[in-house]
Amino acid sequence: MQQFVELGLNSEILKAIEEMGFEKPTLIQEKTIPFLLESSDDIIALAQTGTGKTAAFGLPIIQQIDVTRCDAQALILCPTRELCLQITRDFTNFSKFLKKINVVALYGGADITKQMDALKRCPHIIIATPGRALDLIERGRLKIENIGWLVLDEADEMLSMGFKDDLDAILRNTPKEKQTLLFSATMPKEIVSIAERYMHNPFEISAGKKNIGAENIAHHFYLINPKDRYLVIKRIADLHPDIYGIVFCRTRNETKEVADKLMADGYNADALHGDLSQGQRDVVMNRFRSKHLQMLVATDVAARGLDVNDLSHVINYNLPEDPEIYIHRSGRTGRAGKSGTSITIITPREKNRLGDIEKKIGKKFEQKKVPTGKDICEKQFFNFIDKVMTVNVDESQIEQYLPEIYEKLKDFDREELIKHFVSVEFNHFLSYYKDAEELNVRFDKPDRKSKRDRHLSYSRFFLNLGKKENISKRDVIFLINDSMPDKSIDIGDIEILNNFSFFEIDSNYEKDILKAFKNLKYQGKKVNIELAKLKK
């Protein structure tokens, strides 16, 4: 592996990144930095989150900025406010020892007048979310007609968040004579379409295979009944006392419910969802980053932009419908060269869908047995004993109390003292798991007539939207969840055809879904649904 000094970076940048703790370039940095310093060709760079993409495009751009010019020379677009601020901090640190390079961050949820004032002060590099960038372009405040670099960071995330029209409008305002850099973890067809429309013979750089999971992530699944999802989460947390992870839920209501249960049961957890104000969101995210929270329960949208490198676990409370969502979720652990575990809780109905994800990530899922009460108590016992053995003893602080402690404990022999000592810590575990039930479900391969969960009854619906309206399975799930935000509904098979589609949901919500969809529109078209016969 090359050293940073071999990549062509100047001494001021090398000094800055050394101060930041950079040692050796990552694979994407090693491939991208020399290319951007030597070539003006467009690139498509495929890399998972946590692989050092910001430095890969940021360092060579900073090195080539002309500080004598008083206009924007680079525009970096990214999906979220948090990522926008993170990239801005990185760029500021990268350029610490250079002549003043003015980096301006533009994002929603902040005072736009202050951002307009910042644009008057000769910005060299603009880092922005698409919505706010387009707003300022249309107001005539953001001038991008002279940029030399356009970076689309986490392009697949921007598209999945609905920024396609904004990106199209922004790209139309950029000059033809620019270098476009597209960074993405996956390559869905929408990314290919952008590349074909706006890029010129892009050179492809890859730090991994297209749409594939990271090598240092273990993929596990637990097979259970739907009603036991929370109990499984609880047992996973108890089996891993030092867990530091994210639990992904499908809806904001489910997120609140799971987080509330974890907190009520004494776990160091909190929720991150769309109902939080920006101030509340910042508090939760800062507590999680600083490890004052061990478990963060979040929706996919709410977790975007959360940049944490040392997660031990990612837990999927439900199996995501789209394999690419799974790739993004699992990619939040196993970052910066560390190992991680991605856990998925599934029902028998969902087991056959694991194959689609396995093809995408190039790895097999390993089925794990839900830990028993005995497994958990044993793990907690020895974890506690290990901590006792390695704790730092400050005799100067406790010496004054020792005589009285010795006096109180003098009637206990060694064995009795150990038993009392352990019981104080573990009586609640022993009591809770004394008669703990078996949560594992045996998987019997369903017959060809039905793959549905035998514990649920499903209703099938006709939907007047299909491939012609560019609707996907993910879009159908979003329609269901957004129309019924106060419900956590089990969704069955989804079938997308050219002119229409079919979907299944838990029959208990049949009337609710018919009512919720009554006045719904999708991309301006009135949505109609009707009950349909179940597939035989």
Identify the residue with better confidence: 67 or 427: 67
For range 265-273, the mean pLDDT: 91
At residue 448 the predicted structure's pLDDT band, cuts being 50, 70 and 90, is: very low
pLDDT score of 47 = 77
The pLDDT assigned to 236 comes to: 94
pLDDT for 456 equals 65
Percent of the chain with pLDDT over 90: 42
3-state secondary structure of 310: coil
Indicate the pLDDT class of residue 296, thresholds 50, 70 and 90. very high
Residue 374 burial by Cβ neighbours in a 10 Å radius (0-12, 13-18, 19+): exposed
Domains and CATH numbers, the chain: 4-206 (3.40.50.300), 217-370 (3.40.50.300), 374-432 (no CATH), 458-532 (3.30.70.330)
For the ranges 17-26, 113-122, 282-291, 314-323, the one whose mean pLDDT is highest? 113-122
Cβ–Cβ < 8 Å for 487, 512: yes
Please enumerate in sequence order all residues whose Cβ is within 8 A of that of 256, keeping only pairs 6 or more positions apart, or say none: 271, 273, 275
Whether residue 492 is predicted with pLDDT greater than 90 in this model: the reply is no
C-beta separation of 253 from 487 below 8 A? yes
Mean pLDDT of the chain: 86
Phi, psi (degrees; rounded to nearest 5) at 375: -60, -45
> Which of 154-158, 192-196, 269-273, 466-470 has the largest mean confidence?
269-273
Residue 486: pLDDT over 90: no
* Confidence class for position 479, pLDDT limits 50, 70, 90: confident
353-366 pLDDT, tens digit per residue, is: 888 889 888 889 99
Torsions phi, psi for 396 (to 5 deg) = -65, -25
Specify the higher pLDDT residue, 64 or 485.
Answer: 64
214 vs 225, higher pLDDT: 225
What is the per-residue pLDDT across 35-61, written as a single tens digit (0 to 9) for each? 999 999 999 998 766 678 899 999 999
In this prediction, what percent of the chain has a pLDDT beyond 70?
93
Residue 394 pLDDT more than 70?
yes
Q: What is the mean pLDDT of residues 466-483?
A: 83
Q: How many CB atoms lie within 10 A of CB 447?
A: 7
Instruction: Give the pLDDT confidence score for residue 446 in this predicted structure.
Output: 43
HSE-CB at 371 with a 13 A cutoff on CA atoms is 18
What pLDDT is attached to residue 522? Answer: 83
pLDDT (0 to 100) of residue 301: 75
The CA-to-CA distance between both ends of the chain, in Å, stands at 57
Place of tokens 């500080």: 67
Helical ranges in 336-440 per DSSP H:
354-361, 373-390, 395-398, 402-408, 414-432
Distance CA 225, CA 345 (A): 9
* pLDDT score of 365: 94
pLDDT on residue 475 = 81
Token readout for 456 is 């649920």
